[in-house]
Structure 1
Amino acid sequence: MIWSQLLLLLVVALFANLLSALAGGGAGLLQLPALLMLGLPFATALATHKIASVALGVGATLRHWQAGRLNLRFASLILLAGLPGVWLGTQIIVDVPEHWATLALGVLTLGLGVYSVFKPTLGQSSQRIHRDPLGLLIGCSILFVIGVLNGSLTSGTGLFVTIWLVRWFGLDFTRAVSYTLILVGLFWNGLGALSLAQQTPVAWTWLPPLIIGSLIGGYLGAHFALLQGNLLVKRSFEILTILVGGHLIFKAFVHSL
C-alpha cells in the first residue's frame, strides 16, 4: 500500500472507532467499506476488520477500567452467554438469501434507533431489573443469539448488545456501552477474529494503521462518553443505528437488483 492509502485507513479507523466507542458499536459501517473500496476481497476484509476491531476493545477497556464502572460478576455473565454464540456464528452457514438477511438486519437496526428516539428517558438513569433467575436466563439467551449474529455478520451487533443491556437489565447508556466495548469489542470480536483468521487470509500489512486508529479512537470515544454522560451516548447510539440500518437496507436493495 502507498502512504496515502495507509493514512486514509488510519483516519477512517480513528473516526469510525471514536463514534463506535460513543455509541456502543457500528465501527464496521465505515471501516469495512473502506477496506472493500481499497481492493480487499470481502472475506479478507471481514477478517481484517474483525482483528482491528479488537483494538477498539483494548482502547475502550483502558479508559473504562480507569473509571472503575464494571461489575466483574455481571461482566462474566455477559461474556459466558455470548462467546458460545460467537463461535457458533463463525461456523454455521445460514441458508437464507443474503439480501433478505441484510434487509432484515437493516430494518431491525433502524428500528432500534427510532425506538430510542421516541423514548427520551431510555437509558438516562440506571436501575437494577431482571436479575432473578428467570430474568437472567432470558437475558443471557438473547445475548447468545446476538453472539451468533456477531460471529456471522459484518457490523452492528454491538449496538444490539448495548440496547439489550439498557432495555432488559436497566443499565444507563454510558454503563451499557462500557460493557459492550470491553466484552464485545475485546472478547467476542477476539474470538470471531481468531476463527475467521483460520478460515480466510488476513491483510496483515493493512493492520498497523487500523489498529492504531482503533486504539486511539476507542480510548477517546470512551473518554468523551464518560465526560459528557448518558445524553451524548444516547444521541450517538441513535445516529449510528439509523445510519447502519439505512446502509444495510440500501445494500440489500442494491444486491437484489
Structure 2
Amino acid sequence: MDYTQHLLLFVIAVIANGFSALAGGGAGLIQLPILIFMGLPFSLALATHKIATVALGLGATIRHVKEKHSSIRLLALMLMAGIPGVILGAYLIIDVNDRWAEIILGALTLSLALYSMMKPQLGLEGRLLHRDMSGIIIGAVGLFIIGFANGALSAGSGLFVTLWLVYWFGLDYRLAVAHTLIAVGLGWNASGAITMTLLAEVKWDWLPALVCGSLVGGYLGAHSSIKAGSIWIKRCYELVTLIVGIKLLAG
C-alpha cells in the first residue's frame, strides 16, 4: 500500500471510531466492511479490525478517566462477566455461517433502535436499579451473552452493552457510553484481539494507520460524548443502531 491508502485507512478509522465513541458502539459498521471491500477476507479483516479497536478503547479511556465518573465495581463486573463470553465467541465463530450470524445480529440491533425510540425518557436520567445480588447475577449473564456476540462479530455489539447498562442498571446514556468504552473498548476488545490473533492471520502492515486513527477517533468521540447531554447521545445511539441493524440485514 502507498501512503495515500494508509492515509485513507487513518481517516476511515477516525470517523468510524469517533462515531462509535460518541454512540457507545458501531465502529464495525464502517471499518470492518471497508477492510473487506479493500480486499481482505472476512476472518483476516475481523482479526485486523479487532486489534485496531483496542486503540479506540484506549483513546476513549484516556478521556473518560479525566472525568472520574466511572464506577470501578461496575467496570469490574463488566470485565469479569464479559471477557469469558468474548473468548468463547471468538473460538466458536470459526464454525458458524457468517451470513446467518449477521442476520440475527442485525435483527437484534434494529430492535435496540426501535426500543429506545419507543421509550422517550429512557436513559435521560440515571437511577440505581438491580444492585442487589439477584440483579447483579442477571446483569452479569446479560453481559456474558453480549460478550459472546462481541467475540463472534465486531459489528455493533458495544451498542447492546450501552442499552443493557441503561435498561438494567439504570445508567443515563452518558455514563453508559463511558462504561462501555472503557470495559468493552479496552478490556473486551483486547481479549478478543488476542484470541483472534491466535486463530487467524492479521494484516500487520495495515495496523499502524488503523491504530492511530482509532486512538484519535476514540478520544475525540469520547470528548464529544462528555460535552453532549444524554438526549443528544440517545439520538446518536438510536441513529447508529438503526443504521447498523439495516446494514447487517442488507448484507
TM-score, normalisation: structure 2: 0.97
Summarize deviations over 1:52-87 as a string: whole Å, max 9, x none: 000000000001000001111121111101111111
Task: Determine what percentage of the aligned residue pairs are the same residue.
Answer: 53
Unpaired stretches in structure 2, ≥5 consecutive residues: none
Matches within 5 A, 1:143-154: 143-154=143-154
Indicate whether 1:172 and 2:172 are aligned: yes
1:93–1:56 distance in 2 versus 1, CA, 3 Å: closer
Tell me the residue number matched to 2:137: 137
Indicate whether 1:222 and 2:237 are aligned: no
Greater mean deviation of Cα atoms: 86-95 or 233-242: 86-95
Q: Secondary structure at the match of 1:70?
A: coil
**Alignment RMSD (CA, Å):** 1.2
CA contact (8 A) 1:23 1:234 kept: yes
How many positions carry a matched residue from both structures?
Answer: 251
CA contact (8 A) 1:24 1:180 kept: yes
Q: Distance in 2 between matches of 1:99 and 1:3?
A: 33
Tell me the residue number matched to 1:106: 106
Q: Secondary structure at the match of 2:130?
A: coil
CA contact (8 A) 1:9 1:34 kept: no
List structure 1 runs of 4+ shifted beyond 6 angstroms: none
Amino acid at match of 1:124: L
Amino acid at match of 1:89: G
Tell me the residue number matched to 2:72: 72
Tell me the residue number matched to 1:249: 249
Amino acid at match of 1:13: A
Summarize deviations over 1:183-234 as a string: whole Å, max 9, x none: 0010101000001111111111101111111111111111111111211211
Q: Distance in 2 between matches of 1:99 and 1:38?
A: 19
Amino acid at match of 2:145: V
Amino acid at match of 1:143: L
Structure 1 residue 95 displacement after superposition: 6.5
Amino acid at match of 2:64: H
Unpaired stretches in structure 1, ≥5 consecutive residues: 252-257
Structure 1 residue 37 displacement after superposition: 1.3
TM-score, normalisation: structure 1: 0.95
Q: Distance in 2 between matches of 1:224 and 1:154?
A: 23
Structure 1 residue 93 displacement after superposition: 4.5
Amino acid at match of 2:33: P
Summarize deviations over 1:224-252 as a string: whole Å, max 9, x none: 1111121121111111100100001001x
Tell me the residue number matched to 2:184: 184
Structure 1 residue 98 displacement after superposition: 3.6
Q: Distance in 2 between matches of 1:154 and 1:168?
A: 23
Tell me the residue number matched to 1:255: none
Amino acid at match of 1:237: Y
